Amino acid sequence: MIERGLAVRGPRSLLRQIREALAGGGPAQGRLDKVVQIIAVSMVAEVCSLYLRRASSDMELFATEGLKPEAVHVTRLKPGEGLVGEIMRLGRPINLSEAPAHPSFSYHPETGEDPYHAFLGVPLLRGGRSIGVLVVQNRTARIYEEDEVEDVQTIAMVLAEMVASGEILAAAELKDVELAPHRPERLKGMKFAEGLAIGVAVLHETPVAPEKLLADDASEEALRLARALQLLRQQIDEMLAGSHGLVGQTFEVLEAYRMFAHDRGWNRSLEEAVRSGLTAEAAVERVRSEQRARMSQARDPYLRERLHDLEDLADRLLRILAGETPGARELPEGAVLIARNLGPADLLEYDRTKLRGLLLEEGSSASHASIVARALGIPCVGRLMGLRDRVNSGDPVIVDGEIGEALLRPRTDMIEAVQARAAVRDQRRAEFDRLRDTPAFTRDGTKITLLMNAGLAVDMENLEVTGAEGIGLFRTEFQFMVAEELPRLDAQTALYERVMEAAGDRPVTFRTLDLGGDKVLPYLQAEREDNPALGWRAVRMGLDRPALLRMQLRALIAAAKGRELRVMFPLVATVEEFRAARALVDKEIAWAQRRGRPIPAKVRVGVMIETPALIWHLDALLPMTDFISVGTNDLMQYLFAADRGNPRVSDRYDLLSPPALRALKTIGDACADTGTPVSVCGEMAGRPLEAFALVSLGFTRLSMPPAGVGPVKAMVLSLDGGAARRGFTSVLKSAAGSVRNEIETLARKLNVAV
Ligand code: PEP
Ligand code: MG
């Protein structure tokens, strides 16, 4: 006997009936037919149909009560086709009183659905992905009540889990149903941190699919939810309690987060889901699944962020329900973390010894996660579109930080190919390790100083590992970017002291804050700019708001007591800017002296050449400066007018081209003429072929990412500098846009290891 009137009795009794029907045995199709029949009767609907997604992405009618039985396994809809396809695409319910009038309605005569007007379809969601659609239809035109929609959603969620767990259909019948992606996939992205990693996917969000869906005792469950919600609100309120010194946007973001935690709508949806018979976890999951599906549709990035906040809250709530303490995050061996993006502390919260790689759906090479990943030597690939929709927790994955792609569920041959590449990498690294303590002299006796770029205290370990002779560029803004709030004077001083201590006798060149552009701090209010790369950034910001810059210089001066302090300014475009910046250093030294504080034994103030304008004013600039460092990353982006962070244009122009090389030569020659020490500190200095070009142009100080030191040293040791210089005379005269091939040929001819 089937109980009628779901709205009155709630889905609990219905779910019990479904379970009983399934337990009855018999052929799978028969049981499925029974399930749709039970739902139709309970919902007082004339039609109830279940569509499941085939691996081909088509939606197939798997069972129906009310439509023609001949249509079962015959009616198929393409993705986006018809109302069912639309629900699938949107991942949210469609509720219509006049379905045939809807523009998406697609008529399939074999189903005989002509007489039905009212239509309610809801997606079967699993992990934010629609694996099917459950539809109820009625003859009479009407909009289904909110309660009814809620009930069908609950049934759909339970059905999704039943289908996925094989409770309804045997594995053989499901072999072609796309419950979860299972085929190998290759996703193209961008490399954020070099290296190769083979491991298993761990979703940064709490895993989906709570084990227990139905509550034994609904009122007990409501109590659990209420307690968890209260704890959640308490946690967030504590975060905002004021003792953390949060300022600006961070505070606002948390404030928004708190608003969501207190949001009545969200709370109510959760409570209603529990009232309908779900466990608290299942309720969170259901509400979250709906949000996630909606989130993927939102165009407005602001809205997407806010919905992401809601998703984060759901994670937090699930963790509270599981009794987890905040902060502790376990990982399996060989984990590859999968996330949309990661916040400042997220990556550091995981057990580093088990973390092999990182895949991000968004992010940029300057994002927190990338910076920390590089510092920790964890390969990272980002901008992988649709990543989280395509990977399940536990899937084998490969992070290819050399090419910039992710391989999901790779075949054995793919794994073997990557293993072979990793072995070559390891072997080469071992060769470079052997060169660690060999000084870098060219074959004809020129000493090339190989320095390393760094930005966090953890980077300093790499000095020992690589044998670099010092830090040619310390990017001080990294400390600011990984912090939740503005680092205070003592925190800055402490970092600089640690860095100099770790460097010992080796020189460290600190670059003052290079913020703005793509390096935005959540806690520093910045106005939106149309062209941030050409905007209010780096030293421009520092000179307009000298308090921040002076605080940093004060910290540097204090940290360098009794030692040499080397400091340089980024993105200087005019000599006046440099003069003004330098004057701030003098001011701060005088300030320390007046107070009887220890000052550095020596101060060297330099300038980065990052804007083309300075190239034609070197005669004025060089006498004012103690040294210069060429930031080729920015210099080339401005020289070629190609945004370095935009993959569509960043590789469009070759640095190994006559204009770029001539510009560099002009700088090198002017420095040689005036005896100004000069180094090159952009990424190109760390690539053997590019470094070959730089040394051939006369540069003898190169500062690079740690991974470049070994390969560049191998290049230097194999180089006859005189022959290379002569070879470059003709290369520079070339009329070609890129002289990469000519330089490669020259390197081969001279037996240079590039
Ligand atoms: C550069 O622009 O070349 C440079 C070294 O600085 P950054 O990459 O930090 O902008
Ligand atoms: Mg720069």
Structure tokens at 234: 């308490």
3-state secondary structure of 263: coil
Burial of residue 647, with CB atoms counted within 10 A of its CB: 0-12 exposed, 13-18 middle, 19 or more buried: middle
Structure tokens at 35: 């399930």
Spell out the SS3 assignment of 162-177.
HHHCCCCCCHHHHCCE
Catalytic pick from 48, 108, 368, 380?
Answer: 368
Residue whose Cα lies nearest atom 9 of ligand 1: it is 475
Ramachandran angles phi, psi of 720, nearest 5°: -100, 100
Asked whether the beta carbons of 535 and 516 are under 8 A apart, the reply is: yes
Return the closest-CA partner of residue 495 out of 475, 523, 467, 465.
Answer: 475
Residue whose Cα lies nearest atom 4 of ligand 1: it is 631
CA 716/CA 445 separation, integer angstroms: 10
CA 527/CA 4 separation, integer angstroms: 59
- Phi/psi zone of residue 537: left (φ > 0), alpha (ψ -120 to 50 degrees), beta? beta
How far does the centroid of ligand 1 lie from the alpha carbon of residue 509, in Å?
13
Which residues lie with the beta carbon below 6 Å from any ligand 1 atom?
473, 475, 514, 610, 631-634, 681-682
Structure tokens at 629: 């460092």
Residue 6 has what pLDDT? 43
Residues comprising the chain, all counted: 754
| H or E element at residue 120 | strand 118-126
Residue 298 has what pLDDT? 60
Structure tokens at 133: 């659609």
Residue 246 has what pLDDT? 38
Asked whether the beta carbons of 151 and 109 are under 8 A apart, the reply is: no
Instruction: State the amino acid at position 651 in one-letter form.
Output: D
CA 190/CA 247 separation, integer angstroms: 33
Residue 437 has what pLDDT? 95
How far does the centroid of ligand 2 lie from the alpha carbon of residue 339, in Å?
28
CATH class of the region 218-321 = mainly alpha
Per-domain residue ranges of the chain: 5-174, 185-205+328-425, 218-321, 435-447+643-680+682-754, 470-631
3-state secondary structure of 394: coil
Q: Is 671 a catalytic residue?
A: no
Query: Ligand nearest 453 Cα, by number?
Result: 1
Catalytic pick from 48, 380, 671, 681?
Answer: 681
Q: Which of 475, 480, 512, 635 to mutate to test the pocket of ligand 1 (most atoms within 8 A of CB)?
A: 475
Residue 251 has what pLDDT? 54
pLDDT tens per residue across span 618-655: 999 999 999 999 999 999 999 999 988 776 787 789 99
Q: In terms of CATH architecture, what is 470-631?
A: Alpha-Beta Barrel (3.20)
Q: Which residues contact 92 (CB under 8 A, 6 or more apart)?
A: 122, 123, 290, 293, 294, 297
Query: Ligand nearest 636 Cα, by number?
Result: 1
How far does the centroid of ligand 2 lie from the alpha carbon of residue 630, in Å?
9
Work out which ligand 1 atom sits closest to the CA atom of 477. Answer: 9
CA 651/CA 217 separation, integer angstroms: 61
Residue 675 has what pLDDT? 98
Residue 525 has what pLDDT? 64
Let me know the angle formed at the C-alpha of 419 by 382 and 740, rounded to the nearest 5 degrees: 65
CA 17/CA 740 separation, integer angstroms: 72
Residue 513 to residues 279, 551, 568, 638, Cα–Cα distance (Å): 50, 11, 10, 20
How far does the centroid of ligand 1 lie from the alpha carbon of residue 643, in Å?
13
How far does the centroid of ligand 1 lie from the alpha carbon of residue 81, in Å?
49
Burial of residue 90, with CB atoms counted within 10 A of its CB: 0-12 exposed, 13-18 middle, 19 or more buried: middle
Give pTM, 2 decimals: 0.65
Q: Which of 609, 610, 611 to mutate to test the pocket of ligand 1 (most atoms within 8 A of CB)?
A: 610
Find the DSSP H helices in 51-180: 82-90, 146-164, 171-174
Ramachandran angles phi, psi of 61, nearest 5°: -70, 115
Work out which ligand 1 atom sits closest to the CA atom of 475. Answer: 9
Q: Is 681 a catalytic residue?
A: yes
Residue 245 has what pLDDT? 38
**CB neighbourhood size of 565 (10 A):** 25
3-state secondary structure of 536: coil
Torsion over CA: 630, 631, 633, 636 (sign): negative
Structure tokens at 73: 């396994």
pLDDT tens per residue across span 503-535: 999 999 999 999 887 676 766 766 778 888 899
Q: Does 470-631 match 435-447+643-680+682-754 at the fold level?
A: yes
Residue whose Cα lies nearest atom 8 of ligand 1: it is 633
Asked whether the beta carbons of 91 and 130 are under 8 A apart, the reply is: yes
Low-confidence ranges of the chain (pLDDT < 70): 1-12, 127-128, 167-182, 205-210, 239-257, 292, 294-309, 311-312, 325-329, 343-346, 348-349, 366-368, 484, 518, 520, 522-523, 525-526, 647
CA 726/CA 444 separation, integer angstroms: 14
Asked whether the beta carbons of 469 and 491 are under 8 A apart, the reply is: no
Return the closest-CA partner of residue 533 out of 513, 515, 518.
Answer: 518
CA 121/CA 95 separation, integer angstroms: 7
Q: Which of 374, 608, 644 to mutate to test the pocket of ligand 1 (most atoms within 8 A of CB)?
A: 608
Query: Ligand nearest 629 Cα, by number?
Result: 1
- CATH fold of 185-205+328-425: Glucose Oxidase; domain 1 (3.50.30)
- CATH fold of 435-447+643-680+682-754: TIM Barrel (3.20.20)
Return the closest-CA partner of residue 397 out of 597, 197, 641.
Answer: 197
Orientation of helix 721-732 relative to helix 688-696, angle to 10°: 90
Structure tokens at 130: 């629609």
Structure tokens at 128: 């934010």
Asked whether the beta carbons of 168 and 22 are under 8 A apart, the reply is: yes
Work out which ligand 1 atom sits closest to the CA atom of 681. Answer: 5
CA 261, 265, 271, 277: dihedral to nearest 10 degrees? -130
CATH no. of 5-174? 3.30.450.40
CA 506, 512, 514, 516: dihedral to nearest 10 degrees? 160
Q: What is the mean pLDDT of the chain?
A: 86
CA 199/CA 357 separation, integer angstroms: 8
Q: How many CA atoms lie within 13 A of 22 on its CB side?
A: 17
Residue whose Cα lies nearest atom 6 of ligand 1: it is 631
Q: Which residues contact 19 (CB under 8 A, 6 or more apart)?
A: none
Q: How many CA atoms lie within 13 A of 107 on its CB side?
A: 10
CA 600/CA 564 separation, integer angstroms: 6
Give the bridge partners for 541, in sequence order.
none
CA 686/CA 684 separation, integer angstroms: 5
Q: Checking DSSP bridges between strand 508-511 and strand 59-65, what pairing results, if any?
A: unpaired
